[in-house]
Amino acid sequence: MIRDEVIARTGPPVKYFDAGTRVYLDSPPLLVKGPLYEIHTRKSATNEYEINVNYTADATTSRLHPTLRIDRAFVRFDHPEKAIAALQGSAEIAALCAAGCKINVFRFRNLQIDKGPAAPAEICVSDEAKTESIFLKYFDEKADEIDVAFPDAQVSEISIEPYFNLDSPVIEAHNAGTWRTPQAVESAPITHR
């Protein structure tokens, strides 16, 4: 999706986030240390969401006037909600899973010699066409990531990324089922393309 489409669906950004300095800004900065995210908000009957969108320049049509396309997006929840509620209430997941999705719970294996703590488990929702993946995660009040399980775990964030292949020796994953969007969700989704 291009930036103009995001603005048409959600309105102008309400603020900006420099991931390098971890600072929220009211207007776009001239210089940034890390990726710059535009922040949009959405409300449902039960929650409020902060949509963070980062763009990349696509110069295939013009090098001087490149099209800004979504590179990465994530949605933070004001209040954590159950994973199944996130599947049912997310416009992004509804759009991705209209034809069906696979749900896996996975974690990265600890390959260190000292065998420190394992990485937290995350839920990965991927479309059948293998174009995009959506990750459901839970962060506590100290911003530490906590294990999640499907369907009853609490989640506080979803991220939308290009398809993530779980077939890797550094990943342990188990199939948690499939999901097909049962009905249309009212708000327009933000998609990675």
pLDDT at 192: 47
Report yes or no on 82 lying in a domain.
yes
CA diameter of the chain? 50
Contacts of 128 (CB under 8 A, 6+ apart): 99, 100, 101, 102
- Counted domains in the chain: 1
For the CA atoms of the chain, what is the radius of gyration? 17
Q: What is the pLDDT of residues 86-128, one digit of tens each?
A: 887 777 777 778 888 889 898 887 665 555 666 788 888 888 8
Domain housing 26: 3-179
Beta bridge partners of 24: 17
pTM of structure? 0.75
Mean pLDDT of 21-45: 88
Q: What is the pLDDT of residues 133-151, one digit of tens each?
A: 888 899 888 888 888 888 7
- The neighbour count for residue 16, using CB atoms within 10 Å, is 18
Q: Would the pLDDT of 193 be above 60?
A: no
Task: Report d(CA 84, CA 89) in Å as an integer.
Answer: 9
Mean pLDDT of 63-89: 87
Task: Report d(CA 44, CA 89) in Å as an integer.
Answer: 8
Report yes or no on 97 lying in a domain.
yes
Mean pLDDT of 31-54: 88
Report yes or no on 115 lying in a domain.
yes
| Element spanning 158, H or E | strand 154-162
